[in-house]
Amino acid sequence: MTDEFDLGMGMPDQKLPDPAPIDTIVKVSYKLPKIYRMQAGSPYQRLFQVRQVVSDDFISLHVKANGLTHHRLGMGVAKKMFRKAVQRNRIKRLIREAFRLERPNFSAGLDIVVRPKVKELSLSILKSSFSRLVPKAERKYLPRQSMVDDQQPLRS
Protein backbone atom coordinates (compact mmCIF):
# COMPACT_ATOMS: atom_id res chain seq x y z
CA MET A 1 0.00 0.00 0.00
CA THR A 2 1.55 3.15 -1.09
CA ASP A 3 -1.02 5.77 -0.17
CA GLU A 4 0.32 9.31 -0.27
CA PHE A 5 -1.09 12.04 1.84
CA ASP A 6 -1.43 15.64 0.85
CA LEU A 7 -0.11 17.52 3.86
CA GLY A 8 -0.73 20.92 2.37
CA MET A 9 2.71 21.04 0.82
CA GLY A 10 1.34 21.35 -2.70
CA MET A 11 2.55 19.39 -5.66
CA PRO A 12 6.17 18.28 -5.41
CA ASP A 13 7.13 19.85 -8.73
CA GLN A 14 5.71 23.29 -7.82
CA LYS A 15 8.21 25.92 -6.73
CA LEU A 16 7.62 28.48 -4.04
CA PRO A 17 8.08 32.11 -5.06
CA ASP A 18 11.51 33.51 -4.33
CA PRO A 19 11.68 35.75 -1.27
CA ALA A 20 12.25 39.46 -1.85
CA PRO A 21 15.87 40.35 -2.47
CA ILE A 22 17.63 41.84 0.53
CA ASP A 23 18.35 45.16 -1.21
CA THR A 24 14.61 45.94 -1.51
CA ILE A 25 14.02 45.76 2.24
CA VAL A 26 13.57 49.26 3.58
CA LYS A 27 15.18 50.07 6.90
CA VAL A 28 13.25 52.53 9.03
CA SER A 29 15.08 54.51 11.66
CA TYR A 30 13.20 55.94 14.60
CA LYS A 31 16.16 57.96 15.86
CA LEU A 32 16.14 61.71 16.16
CA PRO A 33 18.61 62.83 13.45
CA LYS A 34 21.70 64.71 14.61
CA ILE A 35 20.71 67.92 12.83
CA TYR A 36 17.82 68.23 15.31
CA ARG A 37 20.12 68.00 18.36
CA MET A 38 22.01 70.85 19.96
CA GLN A 39 25.74 70.40 20.42
CA ALA A 40 27.19 70.92 23.90
CA GLY A 41 28.99 74.13 24.75
CA SER A 42 28.38 77.64 23.50
CA PRO A 43 24.81 77.16 22.16
CA TYR A 44 23.70 76.28 25.70
CA GLN A 45 25.53 79.26 27.20
CA ARG A 46 23.96 81.71 24.73
CA LEU A 47 20.54 80.20 25.30
CA PHE A 48 20.68 80.46 29.09
CA GLN A 49 21.95 84.07 28.91
CA VAL A 50 18.90 85.16 26.91
CA ARG A 51 16.40 83.79 29.48
CA GLN A 52 13.44 83.23 27.20
CA VAL A 53 11.36 80.59 28.98
CA VAL A 54 7.94 79.00 28.56
CA SER A 55 6.80 76.39 31.04
CA ASP A 56 3.98 74.35 32.49
CA ASP A 57 3.70 72.12 35.56
CA PHE A 58 5.93 69.39 34.12
CA ILE A 59 8.71 70.95 32.03
CA SER A 60 10.22 74.31 31.20
CA LEU A 61 11.56 75.17 27.76
CA HIS A 62 14.43 77.62 27.40
CA VAL A 63 14.32 78.88 23.81
CA LYS A 64 16.24 81.11 21.43
CA ALA A 65 15.81 81.74 17.70
CA ASN A 66 18.51 79.89 15.72
CA GLY A 67 17.93 81.12 12.15
CA LEU A 68 17.67 77.56 10.79
CA THR A 69 14.78 75.87 9.02
CA HIS A 70 14.27 73.45 11.91
CA HIS A 71 14.19 73.31 15.69
CA ARG A 72 17.09 71.83 17.64
CA LEU A 73 16.64 70.02 20.95
CA GLY A 74 18.86 70.14 24.00
CA MET A 75 18.27 68.73 27.45
CA GLY A 76 19.12 69.88 30.95
CA VAL A 77 18.38 66.91 33.18
CA ALA A 78 19.73 67.70 36.65
CA LYS A 79 21.70 65.20 38.67
CA LYS A 80 20.17 66.78 41.74
CA MET A 81 16.67 65.70 40.67
CA PHE A 82 17.54 62.37 39.02
CA ARG A 83 20.28 60.85 41.16
CA LYS A 84 20.98 57.72 39.14
CA ALA A 85 22.27 57.74 35.58
CA VAL A 86 19.62 55.18 34.62
CA GLN A 87 16.89 57.64 35.62
CA ARG A 88 18.52 60.55 33.79
CA ASN A 89 19.00 58.51 30.62
CA ARG A 90 15.39 57.30 30.68
CA ILE A 91 14.08 60.86 30.97
CA LYS A 92 16.35 61.93 28.11
CA ARG A 93 15.04 59.09 25.91
CA LEU A 94 11.45 60.08 26.69
CA ILE A 95 12.13 63.74 25.91
CA ARG A 96 13.82 62.88 22.59
CA GLU A 97 10.97 60.57 21.60
CA ALA A 98 8.26 63.11 22.48
CA PHE A 99 10.12 65.79 20.49
CA ARG A 100 10.57 63.43 17.53
CA LEU A 101 6.86 62.59 17.48
CA GLU A 102 5.69 66.20 17.82
CA ARG A 103 8.33 67.75 15.49
CA PRO A 104 6.18 67.63 12.30
CA ASN A 105 3.61 69.89 14.01
CA PHE A 106 6.12 72.68 14.66
CA SER A 107 7.27 75.49 12.42
CA ALA A 108 10.98 76.23 12.44
CA GLY A 109 13.87 78.11 13.88
CA LEU A 110 14.26 77.61 17.66
CA ASP A 111 16.90 76.10 19.87
CA ILE A 112 15.03 74.42 22.72
CA VAL A 113 16.47 73.15 26.00
CA VAL A 114 14.05 71.05 28.02
CA ARG A 115 14.32 71.01 31.80
CA PRO A 116 12.03 68.63 33.71
CA LYS A 117 10.29 69.97 36.81
CA VAL A 118 8.91 66.71 38.21
CA LYS A 119 10.34 63.23 38.66
CA GLU A 120 7.42 61.25 37.25
CA LEU A 121 7.18 61.98 33.54
CA SER A 122 5.60 59.85 30.85
CA LEU A 123 5.65 60.02 27.09
CA SER A 124 2.03 61.21 26.93
CA ILE A 125 2.70 64.03 29.42
CA LEU A 126 5.77 65.13 27.47
CA LYS A 127 3.95 65.03 24.13
CA SER A 128 1.09 67.16 25.44
CA SER A 129 3.53 69.62 27.03
CA PHE A 130 5.50 69.93 23.77
CA SER A 131 2.31 70.40 21.75
CA ARG A 132 1.28 73.29 24.03
CA LEU A 133 4.61 74.95 24.81
CA VAL A 134 6.51 74.90 21.51
CA PRO A 135 3.81 76.78 19.52
CA LYS A 136 3.59 79.25 22.41
CA ALA A 137 7.38 79.76 22.25
CA GLU A 138 7.21 80.15 18.46
CA ARG A 139 4.57 82.88 18.74
CA LYS A 140 6.42 84.62 21.53
CA TYR A 141 10.09 84.40 20.51
CA LEU A 142 10.38 83.79 16.76
CA PRO A 143 10.75 86.94 14.67
CA ARG A 144 7.58 87.63 12.75
CA GLN A 145 7.76 87.43 8.96
CA SER A 146 6.61 91.04 8.49
CA MET A 147 9.42 92.24 10.77
CA VAL A 148 11.94 90.18 8.83
CA ASP A 149 10.66 91.59 5.54
CA ASP A 150 10.95 95.16 6.90
CA GLN A 151 14.59 94.59 7.79
CA GLN A 152 15.50 93.62 4.22
CA PRO A 153 17.21 96.44 2.33
CA LEU A 154 15.12 98.04 -0.36
CA ARG A 155 16.35 97.60 -3.94
CA SER A 156 16.09 100.53 -6.27
Domains of the chain, by residue range, sit at: 36-137
Cα 80 from Cα 54, distance rounded (Å):
22
**Residue 72 three-state SS:** strand
> Residue 148's pLDDT band (boundaries 50, 70, 90)?
very low
Q: Which of 49, 48, 120, 134 is nearest to 87 (CA)?
A: 120
> Residue 57's pLDDT band (boundaries 50, 70, 90)?
very high
Which pLDDT belongs to residue 67? 82
Chain center to CA of 44: 18
Q: What would the mean pLDDT of 84-104 be, rounded to a whole number?
A: 92
Q: Which fold has domain 36-137?
A: Ribosomal Protein S5; domain 2 (3.30.230)
Cα 125 from Cα 118, distance rounded (Å):
11
Residue 3 has pLDDT above 80, yes or no: no
Q: Which of 75, 59, 66, 35 is nearest to 127 (CA)?
A: 59
Which pLDDT belongs to residue 116? 94
How does pLDDT run across 12-48, given as a tens digit for each residue? 566 766 666 666 667 777 777 777 777 777 777 777 7
Q: Which residue has the higher pLDDT, 52 or 21?
A: 52
> Residue 156's pLDDT band (boundaries 50, 70, 90)?
very low
Does the pTM exceed 0.75? Answer: no
Angle 115-119-121 from CA coordinates, rounded to 5°: 80
How does pLDDT run across 104-128, given as a tens digit for each residue? 888 878 888 999 999 999 999 999 9
